[in-house]
Amino acid sequence: MFKSIALTAVFVSLFSLTTWAQSEKDTRSLRSFDAVKVSNGIVAELVKGTENKVEITTVGIEAGKVETSVVGETLEIRLARGNYRNHTVKVKVTYVEVLGIEATTNAQVTVRSTIEAVEAYLFATTSAYIEAKISSEILNLEGATNARILVSGSAEQLNIKGFTNADIDGSKFNAEDVELQANTGAKISFHANSSIAGSLATAARATYSGTPSSIEVRTTTGASLNRQ
């Protein structure tokens, strides 16, 4: 009797493990969009191509639970409502044009192709991560609540906002003019050729390289601006 119960428990455990480890894949065609928003711990890879589509790979969760919809001009990728544990979701987004990226709630977004635009933006919050290379006239960066942004490339105007322990690494990003605003322990780095302006407060730290001719940055409550 005891052996029978033990064997049953083993089979149930093996079945559960096998079910959890099963991988599902799905490919979906998409209508046109120019921005991407990723949420819920999803790991996304973005690649420029000739069509708009998303390829989904999941482990421990049904691919059908991954929602993809174009709202306005933004492709939103998220999980359907529910309580999910022990799962991974990876997506590969092929796009024709992208001007903006948003990542929230532990999502990770890596852009494999250089984003070229007149004006572009990256926004990350709540422990999310974005990595991208951008060539634009204007680039807007915003990070909040333990998010991290790693950006390279160049722009005429770079606008940076960092809040609540965000880490925005633009040390390999070359900008002519930089406007910044940061507080509450945020960390920012960048390269400026002509000017730096803005404000830093509440232990925010900014470091820069380059030799800008104009620096007008207010610092309060333990904040600092330093040259690398």
* 66-71/74-79 β-pairing: antiparallel
Tokens 């977004």: give the residue. 109
Q: Is the pLDDT of residue 151 over 50?
A: yes
Could you report the per-residue pLDDT of 56-97, keeping only the tens digit for each?
A: 999 999 999 999 999 999 999 999 998 888 999 999 999 999
Burial string for 167-192 (b: 16+ CB within 10 Å, else e) reads bbbbbebbbbbbbbbbbbbbbbbbbb
Q: Tokens 């104009």 belong to which residue?
A: 214
Name the architecture of domain 114-228: 3 Solenoid (2.160)
Ramachandran angles phi, psi of 99, nearest 5°: -115, -20
Q: Where are the domains of the chain?
A: 20-99, 114-228
Average pLDDT over all residues of the chain: 93
Which CATH number among 1.10.10.10, 1.10.3720.10, 3.40.50.2000, 2.160.20.120 corresponds to the domain 20-99?
Answer: 2.160.20.120
136 exposed, middle or buried (CB, 10 Å; 0-12, 13-18, 19+)? buried
| The token pair that represents 160 in the structure block | 């940076």
Per-residue HEC secondary structure of the chain comes to CHHHHHHHHHHHHHHHHHHHHCEEEEEEECCCCCEEEECCCCEEEEEECCCCEEEEEEECCCHHHEEEEEECCEEEEEECCCCCCCCEEEEEEEECCCCEEEECCCCEEEECCCEEEEEEEEEEECCCEEEEEEEEEEEEEEEECCCEEEEEEEEEEEEEEEECCCEEEEEEEEEEEEEEEEECCCEEEEEEEEEEEEEECCCCEEEEECCCCEEEEEECCCCEEEEC
Distance of CA 144 to the CA centre of its chain: 11
Q: Tens of pLDDT along 29-63?
A: 999 999 999 999 999 999 999 999 999 999 999 99
Rounded to 5 degrees, φ, ψ at 2 are -65, -45
Residue 158 pLDDT greater than 90, yes or no: yes
| pTM of the predicted model as reported, rounded to 2 decimal places | 0.90
